[in-house]
């Protein structure tokens, strides 16, 4: 590998790392905006307030479960270069591994919410 290929690989790693940090930043911005808008709507609109009082798991719990599972998958992906696992005769790696892991995390968190509520 010559020096230009090494520089290209280094630049690519830095761009991927910057994208991951930007994605994490935007996730925080979107989650906080969702939280503020939901809280403001609950306090102002009586219809949404009734919905939250009647079924808070549906209005607040499931979106938070989605965000928590996304944060878990993103943090695992930042610790390890590539997420890959084998289950039930299938092999998942790369983007498909992340998607399947997100679905598994979301279903597990949603079922635990349903179990304890």
pLDDT tens digits along 73-116: 777 766 666 777 777 788 877 777 778 888 888 899 888 888 88
Give the predicted TM-score (pTM) of the model. Answer: 0.58
Q: Are residues 5 and 49 in the same domain?
A: yes
Neighbours of 79 (CB within 10 A): 8
Q: How many residues can be counted in the chain?
A: 117
Contacts 24+ apart (CB under 8 A), 21-27: 23/74, 24/74, 27/67, 27/70, 27/71, 27/74
pLDDT mean over 3-22 = 73
The predicted pLDDT at position 3 comes to 67
Q: Are residues 37 and 59 in the same domain?
A: no
The predicted pLDDT at position 28 comes to 81
Domain residues for the domain of 6 are 1-53
CA atoms of 69 and 106, how far apart (whole Å): 6
Q: Are residues 45 and 98 in the same domain?
A: no
Q: Are residues 24 and 41 in the same domain?
A: yes
Quickly state the pLDDT bin for 1 (edges 50, 70, 90). low
- Flag whether pLDDT at 27 surpasses 70: yes
Q: Are residues 41 and 86 in the same domain?
A: no
Work out how many domains the chain is built from and give that number.
2
Q: Are residues 59 and 113 in the same domain?
A: yes
């Amino acid at each position: 590998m010559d020096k230009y290929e090494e520089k290209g690989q280094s630049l690519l790693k830095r761009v991927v790392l910057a994208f991951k940090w930007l994605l994490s930043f935007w996730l925080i911005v979107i989650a906080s905006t969702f939280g503020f808008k939901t809280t403001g709507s609950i306090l102002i609109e009586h219809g949404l307030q009734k919905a939250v009082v009647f079924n808070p798991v549906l209005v607040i719990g499931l979106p938070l479960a989605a965000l928590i599972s996304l944060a878990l998958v993103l943090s695992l992906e930042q610790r390890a270069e590539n997420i890959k696992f084998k289950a039930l005769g299938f092999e998942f790696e790369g983007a498909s591994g992340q998607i399947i892991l997100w679905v598994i995390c979301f279903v597990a968190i949603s079922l635990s919410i349903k179990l304890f509520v």
